[in-house]
Structure formats: C-alpha cells, structure tokens
Structure 1
Amino acid sequence: MKQFIDFIPLILFFIVYKISPQAVDILGHTFMVGGIFSATAMLIASSIVVYGILFIRQGKLEKSQWLTLIACLVFGSLTLAFHSETFLKWKAPVVNWLFALIFAGSHFIGDRLLIQRIMGHALTLPQAIWVKLNIAWIVFFLFCGAANLYVAFTYQDFWVDFKVFGSLGMTLIFLIGQGIFLARHIHDADASTQPSTKKTED
C-alpha cells in the first residue's frame, strides 16, 4: 500500500493537466486551471496535504517519503518559478536514481541491506536471496529513471501520461514479479525447515 501513496498527488496532477486551460474566478482573483503549470501547483499542494496527513497520523515520515516530498517541492517550485516544464521532467529520473543509489549504498554501509531493513520484520530469507532482491530494486529504479527521462524528452506529447500510468504499470509489474519470486523461496524455506515426520525404528 505504501508504494502507491506517491501516486495520489500524481493522479490529481494528471486530472488537472488534462483539463482544458481556462480562467476561474476565486474570491475575486482569477486563476488559470488546466495545463502543466496549474497541474504542477496541484502536485505540490496535494503532496503537502498527503504527506502532512501521514506525518500527523504516524508521527513521522519514512526517508523515502521525505525524499519524494522534497523532490516534489524543489522541482515543482522551479517549474513554476521559471515557467519551464523541463525541471519537472527531471523529477522522476532524479528521484528514481537517488533511490537506486540508496539501495546500492546499503551493500557497503550498515549491517543490513535496505530491502532487508524494510521487509525483514515480516520475512526470513537466506542472505543470498536478500542480496538478489536488493539488486533487483536497484535495477528497477535505474530502469524507471531512464524510462521516464527518455519518454519525457522524446515523446513530449505523452510524457505526463507515462509519468502517471507508465510508472504505476512498471511498479505493479515489478511488485507482482517480486511476489512470485518471494513465494517460491518462502515455500522452499518452509519445506527445508519442516520437521521430519518419519518414525525411527527401534
């Protein structure tokens, strides 16, 4: 569930982006709604609300959530300040690559891999499997970053659609693959630790 919280502001961003640009009067002030810049403002506002609620309910935010929020504020603010969507196009690649760097760094820093710290309370796996799983997340984030960058600057008419639904699709496919991978190894681990029921003869 946590993996999909980040998509709430993205979906709102997508909805506002798809609205035909039009002027809206609010309390005597005229605002433009629709298009990339009002969608970016929605992305910033909804991110603050979503992560603010999480912070109030949990008393804290996870490091990944802080990173996502800060990246949204920085790249979104630069997009609005300079009136250039180029800054926002770099947000997804940079965030994904930072996540890849953090997962990779856990191979050299700390006593446990990052994926093991995240999932270790719920799963017991051989260390070799944790290593493979952590590497899989590194590759996933590297691929997502590269895919977002390529689409953003090559297919500019579709980059927002890909930013939302492409990223969501890649995440779903990866999580399903991870589930299949873990199910197989959990089954093998259970089978190897099951006590023998064979009776010994006197």
Structure 2
Amino acid sequence: MKLLLDFLPVIIFFAVYKTSGDIILATAVLIPATLLQIGYTWFRSHRIEKMQLVTLVLVILLGGATVLFNDKTFIQWKPTIVNWLFAAAFLGSQFIGEKTIVQRLMDSSITLPQIAWRKLNVAWVIFFVALGVINLFVAFNFSEETWVNFKLFGMLGLTLVFIIGQGVYLSRHIQSTEESND
C-alpha cells in the first residue's frame, strides 16, 4: 500500500499526460497530488520521511516553474536532482556516522561484513548518479512522450533490476557468512 501511495502522484501525472498530451497540465496536477499525498501520509502516521519532503519541495519549485514559465525543462530536471541528492546523501554517509544509509536501512534484517555494507552503499551512489544522467539523456534526446514513459516505466524498471542485482550481491555475502559459522 505504501509503495502505491508513494507512486500515486507519478501515476496521476502519467495518466493526465496520456489523456491530455499536455505536460504543463500534467505538472499542474502533479503539484496538488503530491501535496495531498504528503498530507495523507501525515494524517495517517504523523510522520513524513525526508525523501518525501525533498520530493515535495522539488515538485513545488520545479513543477511551479514549469507551469509558471510554460517550460517542461524544469520538471524534466526533477528526477535527476532527486537522484543526485540521494547519491550525495548516500555518499556522505560513507564519511559521517558509524553506519552508511544502506546499513541503517537494512542491518536489522541482514548481517554483513562492514566492507560489504560500504560496497553496497557505493553501488547505490553510482546507481543514483547513473539514473540522473540517464534521465537527462532521455529528456533531451528523445520525445516528450518517450521521457514521460521513461519517468514511470523506465526508472521503475531500472530500479527493480538494480534491486535484483543487489539481492544477488547480498545472497553471496549471506551464504559466505552462514558457511563461516558452520
């Protein structure tokens, strides 16, 4: 349910774009949809994740600029900026604090050597940087419709492939950890 709620504004953006063919209108609908998503999240849990706040601020700023200036470039930059901010946060966690972000998110479920946590965290940094670059490549080298499709399906697909790869990486370390305990 949470995953659907997280993707709901993007799905609404996609649906409005597909029915109207107007990226400015789709962006204008994205802004209140994101505000409603955050409001609903706050109402249910009295908590909003930092990622959601960053996304909300960028949707308001870049989406607002898109609508105000009638220029799709601003909204096309949003996924790249979000991904690069995530990359910066994950990279910073390599040097600040005792645990990387990946370790903080997953160490209650999985036990790994410290070097494996660091490699996994760096992999996420590289993934977020690459996803931002790919977004810009698609946005500025393909049609608007291709970019809208990529924003929903391409980015989600790449993320799923990356997570599966991460699972393969983790399974190697989990198996070697279990074997060393025998």
Q: 1:91 aligns with which of 56, 75, 78?
A: 78
**Do structure 1's residue 163 and structure 2's residue 163 form an aligned pair?**
no
* 1:19 aligned residue: 19
For 1:9 and 1:123, how far apart are their aligned partners in 2? 32
1:4 positional shift: 6.3
The DSSP-based 3-state class of the residue aligned with 1:108 is: coil
Write the distance in 2 (CA, Å) between the matches of 1:7 and 1:171.
13
Task: Please say which structure displays the higher CA radius of gyration.
Answer: 1
Q: Which residue of 2 aligns with 1:118?
A: 105
Q: 1:31 corresponds to which residue?
A: none
Tell me, in whole angstroms, the C-alpha distance in 2 between the residues paired with 1:185 and 1:177.
13
TM-score by length of 1: 0.83
The number of equivalent residue pairs is 181
Superposition deviation, residue 169 in structure 1: 0.7
* TM-score normalized with structure 2 length: 0.92
Please give the alpha-carbon distance, in whole angstroms, between the structure 1 residues aligned to 2:161 and 2:154: 11
Q: Could you tell me how far 1:51 is from its partner in structure 2?
A: 2.2
- Consecutive unaligned residues of structure 1, counting only runs of 5 or more, are 21-33, 195-202
Aligned-pair distance for 1:2? 5.8
In terms of mean alpha carbon deviation, does 175-184 or 135-144 score higher?
Answer: 175-184
Match 1:177 to one of 142, 165, 179: 165
Query: Residues 6 and 144 of structure 1: is their aligned pair in 2 closer, same or farther, counting only changes over 3 Å?
Result: farther
Specify the code of the residue in structure 1 equivalent to 2:94: H
Rounded Cα–Cα distance in structure 2 between residues aligned with 1:145 and 1:190: 36
Which structure has the higher relative contact order (CA within 8 Å, separation 6+)?
2
User: Which of the pair is proportionally richer in helix?
Assistant: 2
Specify the alignment match of 1:23 in structure 2. Answer: none
Of 163, 174, 179 in structure 2, the residue corresponding to residue 186 of structure 1 is: 174
Aligned to 1:43: 30
SS in 2 for 1:19: helix
